[in-house]
Amino acid sequence: MRRPTWPRALRAMNHRNYRLFITGHAVSTIGTWMQRVAQDWLVLELSGSAVDVGIAAALQFLPVLFLGLWGGAVVDRLDRRKLIMLTQVISMILAGGLAVVVLVGAVQLWVVFAFSLALGFVTVFDNPARHAFVAEVTRPQDYVNAQALASTVHNVGRLVGPAIAGVLIAFAGSGWAFAVNALSFVPVLWGLALIRLDVVGGGKGERKRGSVLEGLAYVFSHPELRACMILIAVVALFGQNFRAVLPILASETFHGDAQTYGWLTSALGVGAVIGALITAATERVTGWRLLLAGFGFALTNAMIAVSPWLWLAMSTVLLMGVTNLMFNTLSKTLLQLRTEPTMHGRVMALHGLVFLGTTPIGMPLLGWVCDQWGPQAGLWVASLTALVAAVAVTPMLHRLRGGHNPPPPGM
């Protein structure tokens, strides 16, 4: 038995393996967000089109749309730690390559598109592997806390990374932001190398072959998992394409520059950190709580759409960050808690398909909406679609009699 030393809101940190994993991930996430902001602004400088910004971001997730479920089946067969180490090395090489191209002045729009697509193939395996790996470095009773802390780290990166990137881009150019991201993969690789999986894994299951269709059947045979996936799909497709909306909101509505975009993205990160801290103390996860978070996300998008001043928009973007983080953390945790360990890779790959794989459709679509009618129109699309989805799955959850929370596997 492990002796608790961390407070309840940080209880997943009692696991040494999780501490190593999350510490390295914390550094890497800052670099990742620096690269995202730098790429968005670079594409905007090269083409001046919100559609192109959306396409560049969408290409990173296009392979997930076609190969994501197969990637999950692969994750369920292989050593997840070694697989994650491989994806991190390749991501580091890609970030370094893009940095060189930009710094020597050879960058063109198609080059950015190509690097983004290459990173997308890495994401096919990296995303389900990282989510499923949480079950190997924590216990089932700590899943929700582990996911919340991972989301906290992710969104602290969203807060810090864009702020650093905005200053770095303004004074040195986008290339240096890509270079810093390449270096940020070193700590996560070091942490993964030190992890010992013989020391308590919470959800490590037997590696075995399984088909993609088994994962689909598993999810759609469980009403709560099915409702969860529907909500994730709609919110991801229409609501979470911030990278297509926020740059245009910064430049056109508030007549700002890269720093303005960085502020808005950082406000989203602050809200997400607050949402993660709230969620970290949660021990009971139900479909009803996920539904409430979906309604909240719809409301905050509408509030941003009618905000006439930058300070008010930043405040409401912060609130959107709170609701969005709670929605994302609750959805991932619900899927893991209701899924057998041997199915984690395929179920989380399906999550990746609807969460990331819809981006190649939603990002250019929202970019086109913003080009035609302004960023407010994109925000209204996000708000109304989330509202409709939440209303649509309410009867499905009602039949579960209040979202009864059965014990997770292994408890």
pLDDT, tens digit, for every residue of 354-395?
776 666 677 777 778 877 787 788 888 888 888 888 888 887
pLDDT of 105-127, one tens digit each? Answer: 888 899 999 999 999 899 888 88
Separation between Cα atoms, residue 52 and residue 410, nearest integer Å? 47
Please say if the pLDDT value at position 151 is more than 80. no
Using DSSP's 3-state secondary structure scheme, residue 356 falls into coil
Amino acid at residue number 232 = I
Arithmetic mean of pLDDT, 236-256? 76
| Whether the predicted pLDDT of 404 surpasses 60 | no
pLDDT for position 84: 92
Closest C-alpha among 54, 34, 10, 9 to residue 375: 54
In this structure, the dihedral spanned by the alpha carbons of residues 190, 196, 202 and 205, taken in order and rounded to 10 degrees, is 100
pLDDT at 348 over 50: yes
Q: What is the pLDDT of residue 407?
A: 41
Q: Hey, is 316 helix, strand or coil?
A: helix
Rounded to whole angstroms, the Cα distance separating 284 from 406 reads 10
Per-chain mean pLDDT for the chain: 79
Give pLDDT tens digits for 249-285. Answer: 777 777 777 777 777 877 887 887 788 777 766 667 6
Q: What confidence category does residue 90 fall into, taking pLDDT thresholds of 50, 70 and 90?
A: very high
Domains of the chain as residue ranges with CATH: 8-195+209-398 (1.20.1250.20)
**What's the confidence (pLDDT) of residue 406?**
45
Among 32, 19, 75, which Cα is nearest to 191's? 19
Interatomic CA distance for residues 140 and 313, integer angstroms: 38
Percent of the chain with pLDDT over 70: 85
Stated as kind and residue range, the H or E segment containing 182 is helix 174-183
- Work out the pLDDT band at 65, boundaries 50, 70, 90: confident
pLDDT of residue 89 exceeding 90, the answer is: yes
Which pLDDT belongs to residue 409? Answer: 43
**Res 402: pLDDT:** 45
Is the per-residue pLDDT at 57 higher than 50? yes
- What pLDDT shows up at residue 201? 46
* Residue type present at position 347: V
- So what's the pLDDT on residue 401? 52
pLDDT at 210 over 70: no
Q: What is the pLDDT of residues 130-143, one digit of tens each?
A: 877 877 888 767 77
Flag whether pLDDT at 231 surpasses 90. no
Rounded to two decimals, the pTM is: 0.68
For position 400, what pLDDT does the model report?
59
Task: Calculate the CA 345 to chain-centre distance.
Answer: 16
